[in-house]
């Protein structure tokens, strides 16, 4: 079976991308990695470039470009680079993992493909506990359209394991049409569209964080620090597992105790520099103001579109 890992990154996300790849390799995973250039300034890290096959959007066939254009027509809250994860469905690997850069591998991801038997998509997260509030403006209408349990199948699109098929591409295109038909229900980003595609296509989806597997939550915010994470794993049953940590919910500040895992690949000197520079940004209010500015710009763009 043709398998591999897809990432999307550029110079801005280079540090996290380095750490992600380091954690993948340190876990023992030897799968090939393809990195699709996000746009903007390209990755320069010799380590990353040595580990990946670098792909550029401009080199993909017209079919792929038309597909991305189709997605961007409704996903107006989503930078185009975020949509490049969907290109994986058009390339030659039969099974693949897609991962965001703000992720740290905590297990050899090759084992995840063992759970794909009988499934279209495997993931390990607790997005279903949010009741759709981060994906939909009107989550209750999703239940009206697709049934009471529809929100329980929510997917965090930042880390997925997929056995691809042409039918899934058709489902994604149908999800675009659904977004056009019901523009007031979904938030216009890639994660909500993936969930709608899975509902429309009746994808067979396995969430390893649910029974009977009961893997630990992969959201970094659910773990106070590295020690708490280790104790959580050892304090459960002998079969307790966790696939990865995802530092989602905005750019990580880099100064919380659990953020130590984001510096695993760096020397002590580089790690200290990063922590000090991020601490200065946080204490000076720079990070807070930058976040406020970003949110204000998003609201302004949304207002202008309406």
Q: Do 99 and 233 fall into the same domain?
A: yes
Domain count across the chain: 2
Q: Do 298 and 279 fall into the same domain?
A: yes
What is the span of the domain harbouring residue 301? 272-306
Give the H or E element holding residue 300. helix 286-305
pLDDT over 90 at 177, yes or no: yes
Q: Do 78 and 225 fall into the same domain?
A: yes
Q: Do 150 and 31 fall into the same domain?
A: yes
Q: Do 162 and 288 fall into the same domain?
A: no
Q: Do 183 and 296 fall into the same domain?
A: no
Q: Do 196 and 283 fall into the same domain?
A: no
- pTM, two decimals, is 0.91
Q: Mean pLDDT over residues 69-88, rounded? A: 95
Task: Look at residue 292 in the predicted model and tell me its pLDDT.
Answer: 58
Q: Mean pLDDT over residues 214-238, rounded? A: 90
Percent of the chain with pLDDT over 90: 84
pLDDT over 60 at 129, yes or no: yes
Which region among 103-112, 185-194, 256-265, 297-306 has the lowest average model confidence (pLDDT)? 297-306
- HSE of 52 in the Cβ direction (CA atoms, 13 Å)? 28
Q: What average pLDDT is seen over the chain?
A: 92
Q: Mean pLDDT over residues 123-130, rounded? A: 97
What secondary structure does DSSP assign to 15-72, as a single string? Answer: HHHHHHHHHHHHTT----EEEEE-SSSPP--HHHHHHEEEE-GGGS-HHHHHHHHHHH
Per-residue pLDDT reduced to its tens digit, 7-35:
999 999 999 999 999 999 999 999 999 99
């Amino acid at each position: 079976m043709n398998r591999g890992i897809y990432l999307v990154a550029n110079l801005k996300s280079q540090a996290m991308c380095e750490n992600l790849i380091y954690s993948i390799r340190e876990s023992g995973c030897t799968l090939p990695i393809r990195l699709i250039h996000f746009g903007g300034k390209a990755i320069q890290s010799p380590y990353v470039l040595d580990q990946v096959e670098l792909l550029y959007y401009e080199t993909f066939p017209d079919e792929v470009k038309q597909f991305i254009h189709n997605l961007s027509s409704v996903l107006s809250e989503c930078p185009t680079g975020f949509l490049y994860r969907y290109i994986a469905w058009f390339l030659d690997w039969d099974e693949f993992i897609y991962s965001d850069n703000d992720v740290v591998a905590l297990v050899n991801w090759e084992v995840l493909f063992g759970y794909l038997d009988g499934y279209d998509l495997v993931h390990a997260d607790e997005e279903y506990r949010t009741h759709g509030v981060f994906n939909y403006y009107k989550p209750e209408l999703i239940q009206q359209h697709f049934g009471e349990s529809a929100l329980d199948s929510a997917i965090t699109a930042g880390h997925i394991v997929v056995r691809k098929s042409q039918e899934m591409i058709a489902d994604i295109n149908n999800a675009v049409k659904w977004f056009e038909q019901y523009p007031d229900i979904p938030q216009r980003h890639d994660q909500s569209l993936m969930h709608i595609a899975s509902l429309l296509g009746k994808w067979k989806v396995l969430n390893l964080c649910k029974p009977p597997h009961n893997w630990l939550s992969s959201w970094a915010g659910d773990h106070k620090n590295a020690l708490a994470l280790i104790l959580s794993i050892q304090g459960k049953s002998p079969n307790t597992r966790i696939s990865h940590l995802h530092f989602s919910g905005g750019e990580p500040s880099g100064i919380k105790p659990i953020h130590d895992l984001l510096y695993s690949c760096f020397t002590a000197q580089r790690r200290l520099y990063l922590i000090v520079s991020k601490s200065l940004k946080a204490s000076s209010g720079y990070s807070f103001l930058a976040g406020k500015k970003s949110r204000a710009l998003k609201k302004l763009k949304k207002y202008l579109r309406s």
